[in-house]
C-alpha cells in the first residue's frame, strides 16, 4: 500500500521540530525512506513540501538540508503570529459554529481545572489544542494553514517557558471564548493580541548541535520578543 506523502511530510516535520534532525543537517531520500519504511517517491514529495514551508533548503550539488533560520527570521515569526492570531480570533467571532464553541469551552474548563490543581504537564498540549481550534473556528482554510505553520516553526525555533500564573493564562483563554461566543469580533481581537503579547517574554531561542540560530546580517528586532 502506498504511504501518502502528507503522512511522510508530517513525520519529517515533527522530527525537524523536535530536533531529531538538527539545523543544517543533510537529508537524503534514501536515509528518510529507510527511517520511515517507505519508498523514495513520497519522501521526494514531502521534501518539496517542506522546502516550500521553509523547513528544508536544497543546495546545489549538496541536496536537501534542514534550514538554518536567522535570528531575524525567528523574530519575524513572532511578529507574524502577533498579527494573525488576533485576526483569526476576530474571524472566529463572526464565523464560529456551535461545535467550535463546545470544543473551546471544554478545553477552557479542562485547562482551568488543571491550572488550579497545578497539573502543568497537560497545560501545554491543551493550550495548543485551544489555539488550533480557535484558528479552525475562523472559517478560513488559508488563515488556519498559516497559523498552523507558524506554530510549527515557532515550536522549532523557540522553547517556551511555562506560564508563571497558569490560572490567569486560562482565564484569558476563557475571556477570548466568551467574546467569540458573543460575536464580539473587536473584543476577541483585542484580548487575543494582549494574550499573544504577554506570552512573548516566555520564548527562548533553542540551541542545536550547531549552536543558536545563525546571526542575522541585519540588526535583530529585539522589540518583537519583549514582553
42-97 per-position pLDDT tens digit: 999 999 999 999 999 998 888 999 999 999 999 999 999 999 999 999 999 999 99
208 pLDDT band, cuts 50/70/90, is: low
CA distances from 101 to 130, 136, 174, 196, 222 (A): 11, 11, 11, 20, 36
Rounded Cα distance between 23 and 73, Å, is: 14
Look up residue 126 and give its three cell numbers: 491543551
Range 185-215 burial, b when 16+ CB lie within 10 A, else e: bebbbbbbbebbeebbeebeebebeeeebbe
Roughly what angle, to the nearest 10 degrees, separates helices 123-136 and 141-157? 150
Provide the CB-side half-sphere exposure for 26 (13 A, CA).
9
Rounded Cα distance between 81 and 78, Å, is: 5
Residues 75 and 153 sit within 8 Å (Cβ to Cβ): no
pLDDT tens per residue, range 189-198 = 999 999 999 9
pLDDT tens per residue, range 161-171 = 988 899 999 99
- Residue 73 main-chain phi, psi, to 5 deg: -65, -40
Question: What pTM, to 2 d.p., does this model score?
Answer: 0.81
Quickly tell me which residue has 484569558 as its cell.
172
Amino acid at each position: 500500500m502506498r504511504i501518502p506523502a502528507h503522512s511522510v511530510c508530517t513525520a519529517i516535520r515533527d522530527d525537524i521540530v523536535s530536533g531529531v534532525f538538527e539545523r543544517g543537517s543533510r537529508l537524503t531520500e534514501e536515509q528518510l525512506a529507510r527511517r520511515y519504511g517507505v519508498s523514495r517517491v513520497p519522501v521526494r514529495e514531502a521534501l518539496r513540501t517542506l522546502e516550500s514551508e521553509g523547513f528544508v533548503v536544497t543546495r546545489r550539488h549538496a541536496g536537501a538540508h534542514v534550514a538554518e533560520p536567522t535570528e531575524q527570521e525567528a523574530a519575524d515569526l513572532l511578529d507574524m503570529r502577533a498579527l494573525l492570531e488576533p485576526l483569526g480570533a476576530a474571524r472566529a467571532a463572526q464565523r464560529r459554529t456551535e461545535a467550535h464553541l463546545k470544543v473551546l469551552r471544554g478545553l477552557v474548563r479542562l485547562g482551568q481545572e488543571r491550572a488550579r490543581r497545578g497539573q502543568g504537564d497537560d497545560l501545554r498540549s491543551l493550550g495548543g489544542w485551544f489555539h488550533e481550534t480557535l484558528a479552525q473556528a475562523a472559517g478560513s482554510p488559508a488563515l488556519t494553514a498559516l497559523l498552523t505553520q507558524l506554530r510549527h516553526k515557532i515550536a522549532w525555533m523557540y522553547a517556551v517557558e511555562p506560564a508563571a500564573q497558569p490560572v490567569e493564562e486560562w482565564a484569558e483563554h476563557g475571556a477570548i471564548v466568551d467574546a467569540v461566543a458573543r460575536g464580539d469580533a473587536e473584543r476577541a481581537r483585542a484580548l487575543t493580541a494582549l494574550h499573544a503579547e504577554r506570552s512573548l517574554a516566555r520564548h527562548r531561542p533553542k540551541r542545536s548541535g550547531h549552536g543558536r540560530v545563525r546571526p542575522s546580517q541585519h540588526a535583530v528586532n529585539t522589540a518583537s520578543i519583549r514582553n
